[in-house]
């Protein structure tokens, strides 16, 4: 087991999953505190890294595409104070962080966890019911429908239309966008049969965000809805669809040469890890045999 305890949070790895617990330090982002403890299965990881700095270092987890509804709904745009997959590390714990990275990487290697996308969510997303107030509205989600209520700062067109109720069955997609510079952010729901997109300021299916403290909490609503929508891998891409009434065209299988080259690269990586002392002789032999069997 590997463990690193910091003011920013505590990460524990037991060989099968990582338990991420946010710290109580005042610099811990509001979203991380509200999200609480996360259990990330090893199969959801694409990689882990540690970056050293003069004042502090940073541990980062990289999840496989499609594994986490929060990452998908936010498009990976969560910044450091709010990103649950980053951990600030104090200089006197750099050695512990490097050991933690080695343990996770060894497990990924020995379990032969692929780094490619997945076709189902491996994390459940935030629990419901949820209610968040930010920007020009309040978003409620009970697992079956989204209700949007407008504050007095909302545009007249929204206020005049009154609260908006969106059944989950009518929602096609959800998107959270943070404010950046002079551009406001938004939480937007794409609804079936809705007209083309209009600016979030006037869109009755969107909450406009102005860059205030509670804006990141809207990402929790986005993730909770995303977790209950069909997984992106289950939706056929437009270019894959055939003529009306026909099944989508099958995707070509990957070339055997490409797979062979990937296995050769993996073998070279194993050799580098073994020479650098990261892998023991036994671990290197087991991992190499598994790759040779696939070849």
Please identify every stretch of the chain with a pLDDT value under 50, giving residue numbers as ranges: 237-242, 244-245, 247-248, 251-258
CA distance 245 to 59: 50
CA distance 205 to 133: 15
| Closest to 135 measured CA to CA, from 212, 78, 77, 198 | 212
Burial class (CB in 10 A: 0-12, 13-18, 19+), 126: buried
Q: What is the DSSP letter of 202?
A: T
How confident is the model at residue 26, as a pLDDT? 87
pTM: 0.77
How confident is the model at residue 281, as a pLDDT? 73
Backbone angles phi, psi at 210, to 5 degrees: -110, 10
Instruction: Report yes or no: 8 and 88 within 8 Å, Cβ to Cβ.
Output: yes
Residues with Cβ within 8 Å of residue 268, at least 6 apart in sequence: none
Give the number of other CB atoms < 10 A from CB of residue 21: 15
Q: What is the 3-state secondary structure (H, E, C) of 247-263?
A: CCCCCCCCCHHHHHHHH
How confident is the model at residue 180, as a pLDDT? 84
How confident is the model at residue 253, as a pLDDT? 45
Burial 219-247, CB ≥16 within 10 A → b, else e: bbbbbbbbbbbeebeeeeeeeeeeeeeee
Element spanning 287, H or E: helix 281-294
Backbone angles phi, psi at 137, to 5 degrees: -155, 180
Chain segment 150-182, per-residue pLDDT in tens: 999 999 989 998 999 999 999 999 999 998 878
Instruction: Report yes or no: 107 and 257 within 8 Å, Cβ to Cβ.
Output: no
> E strands along 202-285, which residues?
206-209
Note the maximum CA span of the chain.
71
């Amino acid at each position: 087991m590997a463990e690193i305890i910091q003011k920013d949070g505590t990460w524990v790895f037991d060989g099968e999953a990582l338990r991420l617990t946010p710290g109580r330090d005042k610099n811990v982002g509001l979203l991380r505190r509200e999200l609480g403890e996360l259990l990330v299965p090893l199969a959801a990881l694409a990689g882990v890294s540690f970056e050293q700095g003069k004042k502090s270092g940073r541990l980062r987890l990289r999840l496989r595409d499609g594994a986490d509804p929060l990452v998908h709904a936010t498009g990976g745009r969560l910044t450091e104070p709010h990103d649950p997959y980053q951990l600030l590390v104090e200089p006197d714990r750099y050695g512990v962080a490097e050991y933690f990275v080695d343990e996770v990487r060894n497990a990924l290697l020995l379990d032969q966890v692929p780094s490619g996308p997945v076709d189902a969510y491996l994390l459940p997303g935030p629990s419901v019911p949820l209610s968040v107030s930010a920007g020009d509205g309040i978003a409620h989600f009970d697992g079956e429908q989204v209700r949007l209520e407008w504050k007095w700062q909302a545009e007249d067109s929204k206020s005049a239309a009154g609260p908006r109720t969106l059944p989950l069955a009518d929602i096609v997609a959800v998107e959270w966008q943070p404010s950046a510079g002079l551009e406001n952010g938004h939480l937007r729901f794409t609804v079936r049969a809705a007209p083309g997109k209009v600016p979030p300021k006037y869109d009755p299916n969107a909450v406009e965000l102005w860059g205030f403290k509670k804006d990141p909490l809207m990402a929790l609503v986005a993730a909770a809805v995303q977790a209950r929508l069909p997984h992106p891998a289950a939706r056929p891409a437009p270019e894959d669809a055939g003529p009306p009434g026909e099944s989508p065209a099958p995707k070509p299988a990957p070339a055997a040469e490409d797979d062979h080259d990937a296995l050769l690269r993996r073998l070279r990586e194993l050799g580098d890890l073994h020479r650098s002392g990261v892998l023991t002789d036994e671990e290197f032999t087991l991992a190499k045999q598994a790759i040779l069997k696939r070849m």
